[in-house]
Structure 1
């Protein structure tokens, strides 16, 4: 029999699950704010893994992924321990904002410290109570409001274990991405915790394909770690396209954007992705791909200013295989039926 799992002064017995609220702060009207973590502590030994979402408060896709993951049947016979935190930044989530009340980006404030700003204190709490307790983690993100991302995994360069876990996740695209100062990924890496970064969908919007890809990928990672059995876990239906660099194409001038390519589309060098024109249609400028690759992100807003980021194109290591894989993305999108509005709400 395993020892109970302790978090925030509470214990979770082997073979049970519990939601634990970790105090964060008190609002000006005396309303308490907590960091809520759901613990599933398996009867059998195994890795400790965290899954987190809404470090940016408007990234609701990740919240839905965690909700569905916690109800997945394979987790009923878990080896090891899962710590699920669907909403890290409760302040931003309640305000439908990416940031904290002081306009700080929480993902630039790690590792934080317990006597600092609100962001620093929240980052410190999450690092000490969750991240440092784990062997591996999956951090769920989406694009900001007005942009959308093709489901993709971002890996720290040179980490063989993460590369294996990323392959098990099976996102359409796997992108090598350097860690940034103050980010959760960087500080987790310093603490010896491997973290997969999942990017998919748009801020404040549900994307059914992004949600399903996130749930299935998280379960496949748990299979790879030996935390759950493979029975009932969706198999990868596509080969992830490996990319080591990417580029953003920006608006050459202000105006109205007519988008000609969507996320997941394969483009050749010189392909026209969109056209920016003035409101009178007297002046038009084309946005063309600088190299062959896959559109992994784009703006959804038709009104743009000069210099705005419009299309994010990832450059694959093996262009021919990547082009063939990209042609199947639409099939997978169509294969996943959308929920009715009342089912989502």
Structure 2
């Protein structure tokens, strides 16, 4: 068996069986400080694929960084075959502001819509491009971790590009990750760009504003770290048996908007990732006096995987992410 190679990402260089922390350099800001992307490389003692984990491309989604911290503590490079690269925060200015995008960069605010950016573009485009140069060169498989951020809570759900290798990677996330939908955003994100160069990437969702209490936040981080470990086990990069979701659903996302202004009240007894029939009640909008002003119903057979966090709504506000289930993948 050939020896494992030394792996370099930005300033982080890890020999076989070692861990290295560093940054992907981007630029210097007006105040003289550097803008860099933090990265950690866990390089296994044995050769194998490169599994790349990205998080916080949206700055109000801190669940991914927590998951990366846990995985960093728990993955032993002596037992690893291949390499685990983790970027805990891609969009550093957005993360520091706890906002979806860099508030100082309005022309390319949402980095998950302008990826992979441009080397001579707006600031967020330059950050994205610096990241893409390394991701495209080294990664074999990639997951991009997201959550509901400041506006909502999202249960375990995944977007794929429907190629077999993308669906396999989604399945490798493990037990409970059976809501696997076709990507609603065919370009502008890491998954779409990896497809263009023949590599597998997926977008995973878990967490958000409704789960930021100490206990809930820790639980979400743990679940995401478990998924990282499960992917490693599925691809025979780490010891242990992988688990898998059953059933695995195939579907399409639909965003449901508030039909009236008022207070958003979910229907009693409904729950995330629970199959519903078309027309089943999801929620109602009531006035400040309790009068029913509008209702939300399941647009098709399927399940909801995301709900808004703040009950007060204005007509047209986002309320719910619904998965219109087309069948199973089993």
Using the size of structure 1 for normalisation, the TM-score is 0.84
Aligned position for 1:215: 225
Aligned position for 1:255: 262
Q: Distance in 2 between matches of 1:10 and 1:256?
A: 49
CA contact under 8 A between 2:29 and 2:35: conserved in structure 1?
A: yes
Aligned position for 1:276: 285
Query: CA-to-partner distance for each residue in 1:45-99, whole Å, 9 max, x for gaps?
Result: 1001210100011110111111111122455411111111101111011111110
* Counterpart among 179, 188, 198 of residue 182 in structure 1: 188
Q: Distance in 2 between matches of 1:7 and 1:303?
A: 45
Superposition map of 1:175-324 within 5 A: 175-202=181-208, 205=212, 207-230=217-240, 235-236=243-244, 238-260=245-267, 261-318=270-327
Matched, 1:102 2:105: yes
Aligned position for 1:336: none
Segments of 5+ residues of structure 2 without an aligned counterpart are none
* Counterpart among 150, 155, 158 of residue 150 in structure 1: 155
Aligned position for 1:116: 121
Aligned position for 1:56: 58
- CA distance 1:253–1:178, shift in 2 (3 Å): closer
Q: Distance in 2 between matches of 1:166 and 1:150?
A: 15
CA contact under 8 A between 1:267 and 1:289: conserved in structure 2?
A: yes
CA contact under 8 A between 2:299 and 2:324: conserved in structure 1?
A: no
Aligned position for 2:173: 169
Q: Distance in 2 between matches of 1:76 and 1:294?
A: 42
Q: Distance in 1 between matches of 2:75 and 2:229?
A: 10
Q: Distance in 2 between matches of 1:146 and 1:121?
A: 27
- CA distance 1:25–1:202, shift in 2 (3 Å): same
- CA distance 1:9–1:253, shift in 2 (3 Å): closer
Aligned-pair CA distance for 1:17: 0.8
After TM superposition, which residue ranges in structure 1, 4 or more long, deviate above 4 angstroms?
73-76
Aligned-pair CA distance for 1:283: 4.6
Q: Distance in 2 between matches of 1:8 and 1:246?
A: 36
State the SS of the aligned residue for 1:195: strand
Q: What is the CA RMSD across the aligned residues, in angstroms?
A: 2.3
Q: Distance in 1 between matches of 2:205 and 2:319?
A: 17
- The aligned length equals 317
Aligned-pair CA distance for 1:248: 2.3
CA contact under 8 A between 2:12 and 2:39: conserved in structure 1?
A: no
Aligned-pair CA distance for 1:209: 4.4
- CA distance 1:283–1:10, shift in 2 (3 Å): closer
Q: Distance in 1 between matches of 2:45 and 2:148?
A: 37
Moved more, 139-148 or 50-59: 139-148
- CA distance 1:285–1:9, shift in 2 (3 Å): closer
Aligned position for 2:40: 38
Q: Distance in 2 between matches of 1:310 and 1:29?
A: 40
Q: Distance in 1 between matches of 2:178 and 2:251?
A: 14
